Structure 1
Amino acid sequence: MTRKRPWLAAVLALVYPGLGHTYLRQWLRALLWFGFALVTVMVFIPEETFQAVESGGFSVYYEQIRSLPFETTLPILVVQLCNVLDAYWSALRSNRASATADGEGGTRCPHCRRNVDDDLDFCHWCTNPIDRETAAQ
């Protein structure tokens, strides 16, 4: 498994909710974050702001967004921050899991070179029997 860059996942998540998780190939999580961010925007931003695009164009929409009170934008910012942090931590967890699966430290299977539990007589990855004297080298 390829190691992912946590900072890149965080930057992508900042650009667009769920994009960092897409980079990590966590498809369901990306879809959930995108949906959660979209629902948060739809709930907290007044409908008049969205209608401004139809009537006055993007400049009027931009002015209405800028005039929103802090209480309205705070939930959106919190969801965005949580999205960025989750993408960063997901990348870290993924890298740790792949490092463990790739066999950093511990006893390795001589056939597939992955970490093996010390109390097993076989590799739970490739199911080959393990000779402890050979695997320790």
Structure 2
Amino acid sequence: MAPNDRKRPWLAAMLALQPGLGHAYLRSWVRATLWFGLWVATVLVVVPAPGAPATEPLAFLAGLADGLGAVEFEASLALASVTVFSVLDAYWLGVRELARSDDFADEGTTACPTCGRDIDPELAFCHWCTTELDAADPERGSGETG
């Protein structure tokens, strides 16, 4: 994995203060969708309904903002719980992905000299950018003896 491609667990945790964003940063799309959906469902259940109908979007959003200001302790506790668990899950997922990428790097992989991504050392080309590795990297050689 190229150094710029490594995901930072602490950044994922900070982004997860809005549930779903940290998981999207880690490209865990299903988890991102589920965490954001859980947060939206929690907001819809615990926040008092606004007075304006949902057919008027601006009035609905203004009413929702007023409703968020009048949230009771139990409702804010529910929202905080979803957020805290989202942050913890994003951090744990980021640490696990970082450990997996370190294990992958220890397995003898090399980086493509053209694009910098990890490549399979048994291939004669980069499967990302199709650069022929024998011609681009003189240390690799052709792998043939003769």
Query: Structure 1 length normalisation: TM-score?
Result: 0.65
Native 8 Å contact 2:15 2:22 kept in 1: yes
Give the Cα separation in 2 of the matches to 1:5 and 1:80.
Answer: 19
Deviation at 1:98, TM superposition (A): 1.0
Q: Tell me which amino acid in the other structure corresponds to 1:68.
A: V
Native 8 Å contact 1:50 1:61 kept in 2: no
User: 1:69 aligned to 68, 72, 77, which one?
Assistant: 72
Q: Which residue of 2 aligns with 1:89?
A: 92
Query: Structure 2 length normalisation: TM-score?
Result: 0.61
Q: Which residue of 2 aligns with 1:34?
A: 36
Q: Tell me which amino acid in the other structure corresponds to 1:22.
A: A
Give the Cα separation in 2 of the matches to 1:86 and 1:73.
Answer: 20
CA change 1:101–1:32 in 2 (3 A) is: same
Give the Cα separation in 2 of the matches to 1:45 and 1:77.
Answer: 13
Native 8 Å contact 2:50 2:64 kept in 1: no
Point out the structure with the larger helix share: 1
Describe the SS at the equivalent of 2:78: helix
Give the Cα separation in 1 of the matches to 2:34 and 2:71.
Answer: 26
CA change 1:30–1:61 in 2 (3 A) is: closer
Pair 1:98-2:104 in alignment: no
Describe the SS at the equivalent of 1:47: coil
Pair 1:20-2:25 in alignment: no
Give the Cα separation in 2 of the matches to 1:82 and 1:51.
Answer: 32
Unpaired stretches in structure 2, ≥5 consecutive residues: 110-119, 123-146
Q: Which residue of 1 aligns with 2:59?
A: 54
Q: Tell me which amino acid in the other structure corresponds to 1:27.
A: W
User: Percent of counterpart pairs with the same letter?
Assistant: 42
Q: Which runs of 4+ in 1 moved over 6 A?
A: none
CA change 1:4–1:28 in 2 (3 A) is: same
Give the Cα separation in 1 of the matches to 2:30 and 2:49.
Answer: 29
User: 1:11 aligned to 10, 14, 37, which one?
Assistant: 14
Give the Cα separation in 2 of the matches to 1:11 and 1:65.
Answer: 22
Aligned CA RMSD, in angstroms, stands at: 2.7
Native 8 Å contact 2:50 2:66 kept in 1: no
Q: How many aligned residue pairs are there?
A: 106
